[in-house]
Amino acid sequence: MAEPEYAKVVAEEHVKAVPTAAEPTKAAAPSQEQQALPKLTPMEFRIYNPMAEHMDMFHENFRRSWNLMYGACNSGKRPLGMSIRQFLAVGSEFSHHLEVHHSIEEQHIFPVLAKKMPAFKKELELLTQHKQIHAGLEKFEAYIEDCKSGEKELRLQEMKTVMETFGTVLWQHLDDEVNQLKAENMRKYWTLEEMRRMPM
């Protein structure tokens, strides 16, 4: 296969795939609009950017857990030295932590941000993503619990199929949320004093 054609096939396959944490995320790249704004001073950046940094720290933990599980599903074997019980525990913890994380966001963070930022308002982008994620997460939790109880035998290909029902929207959400909280975006809606009083 000619090199340009091969590169095109690889690119198309990459677009279809659920991303991995080893890949750079969109959250890291400023848009042209952001580049056109006057540059923030280092002090202003430190005040405007902490919510994005804090959120991405949580999100990176979700990416790592996802990649451990999804990588096992792709390879057809659990990580070396990890028992079935330990592997299923990773799935249970992932689900529990994601639910708690979203609950805190919806009860305490999103209502504050929604006062000025459209993306955080009810039934719009980010909350809609939460609903889509949790529709798949419920199936994932049920599968993990069935395997833990012995009702089902763990089959990694089955687990992969369940994960793929919400993987794309989950990874998109992890990037979108951080993008919304980046300094370059937050400055459009909030004053420095308002940022100092943010709950997160």
- What distance in Å separates the CA atoms of residue 168 and residue 145, rounded to the nearest whole number? 23
- What distance in Å separates the CA atoms of residue 52 and residue 48, rounded to the nearest whole number? 9
Q: What is the pLDDT of residue 6?
A: 34
Statement: residue 19 has pLDDT above 70: no
Statement: residue 69 has pLDDT above 80: yes
- What distance in Å separates the CA atoms of residue 29 and residue 27, rounded to the nearest whole number? 6
Q: Which secondary-structure segment (H or E) carries 5?
A: helix 3-16
* More confident of the two residues 49 and 21: 49
> What phi and psi, each to the nearest 5 degrees, are found at residue 179?
-55, -40
- What distance in Å separates the CA atoms of residue 194 and residue 48, rounded to the nearest whole number? 10
* More confident of the two residues 5 and 188: 188
Closest CA to 121 of 111, 131, 129: 111
Closest CA to 70 of 135, 27, 24, 22: 22
Kindly report the average pLDDT of the chain as a whole number.
85
Statement: residue 29 has pLDDT above 80: no
Token representation of residue 52: 């994005």
Statement: residue 141 has pLDDT above 80: yes
How large a percentage of the chain has pLDDT more than 70? 80
- What distance in Å separates the CA atoms of residue 29 and residue 35, rounded to the nearest whole number? 10
> What phi and psi, each to the nearest 5 degrees, are found at residue 165?
-70, -20
